[in-house]
Amino acid sequence: MIFKSFFIKSLLYLVFILSFTLSYSLILTAQESEPDPIILIPGIGASWNWEIMLDRGAEGVWDFLPLSDEYENLISSLEEQGYIKGQTLFIVFYDWRKTNQISATEYLIPIIDQALQNSNSGYVDIIAHSMGGIVARSYIQGNSYRGDVDQLIMIGTPNFGSSDVYSLWEGGLVPKNWDDGLKNVLGFYLWYMTTVTAQTADNYDTIHQHIPSIHDLLPTYDYLVDAQTNEIQDVDDMVVKNIFLEAIEALNNNLKELNKAVSK
């Protein structure tokens, strides 16, 4: 998940790694016509569409979260390397409230199709931040994968879930250590749904009815401690578990075993 210091540091690290990777890639592919198009998938809360997010019934326009500029340096760095928005650089804005599988199907795949129109190799490269990495994995490790992703770079992606979201999913409480921008937008959304539209009774109901993606981020590791015994609870014994991440991880392990068997 995104919290302020980690969020900023991870993006700065991303810019550094990306600049190095791209420079190295350009050297290796100097004789090739063009590098693969790049697709950027931002994290939870970074995409915003007033009409859709507030259920106004109109299509609206997707963009980055208002007053948020965390991705500007990354995009500028890519543009300095020669990438052009809408031609060789594409941004996947998506409804982060929905499950990651839906985000992959309804938002990521159509952008991949656009990018492939400008890909001589038939591949794209994906740069994913935070939950964007889970969206990418939903596609790459899912049944709809078409083998068209050459490289996937994940920065700050909670591949085994994040303990931060437990209080949000089970109690409707926004984690205090999250980035201020994310806390504000999520807090506003929860207030809007419970107070303005009165569609839900409280934050818990809003999270469960309208933001199922939070469940996709529950940890797959042991993370709860019994307050009385001070013992760590076995995640396998918990009633509420992240079946989604467990499923794609199991699929990944099965593919590894299959590859081993084929290579023998």
* Domains contained in the chain, CATH given: 4-155 (3.40.50), 165-248 (no CATH)
- Is the pLDDT at 264 greater than 60? The verdict is no
Q: Does the pLDDT at position 260 exceed 50?
A: yes
Between CA 60 and CA 148 the distance in angstroms is 29
Q: Is the pLDDT of residue 22 over 70?
A: no
151: helix, strand or coil: strand
Residue 226 has pLDDT above 70, yes or no: yes
pLDDT at residue 153 in the model: 96
Q: pLDDT tens-digit profile of 28-80?
A: 443 456 899 999 999 999 999 989 988 887 888 999 987 667 899 999 999 99
Q: Specify the higher pLDDT residue, 26 or 247.
A: 247
What integer is the mean pLDDT of 116-120? Answer: 92
Please state, in angstroms and rounded to a whole number, the distance separating the CA atoms of residues 225 and 239: 15
Contacts of 176 (CB under 8 A, 6+ apart): 183
d(CA 130, CA 213): 13
Tell me, what's the pLDDT at 255?
Answer: 55
For residues 99 and 14, give the distance between their C-alpha atoms in angstroms, rounded to a whole number. Answer: 25
DSSP code for 232: B
- pLDDT value at position 151? 96
| Least confident range of 8-17, 31-40, 236-245 | 8-17
Size of the chain in residues: 264
Rounded to an integer, what distance in angstroms lies between the CA atom of residue 245 and that of residue 216? Answer: 7
Asked if residue 179 lies in contact with residue 4, where contact means CB atoms within 8 angstroms, the answer is yes
Average pLDDT over the chain, rounded to an integer:
85
pLDDT at 249 over 70: yes
Q: pTM for this one? A: 0.83
The confidence score (pLDDT) of residue 65 equals 84
Nearest-Å Rg of the Cα atoms of the chain is: 19
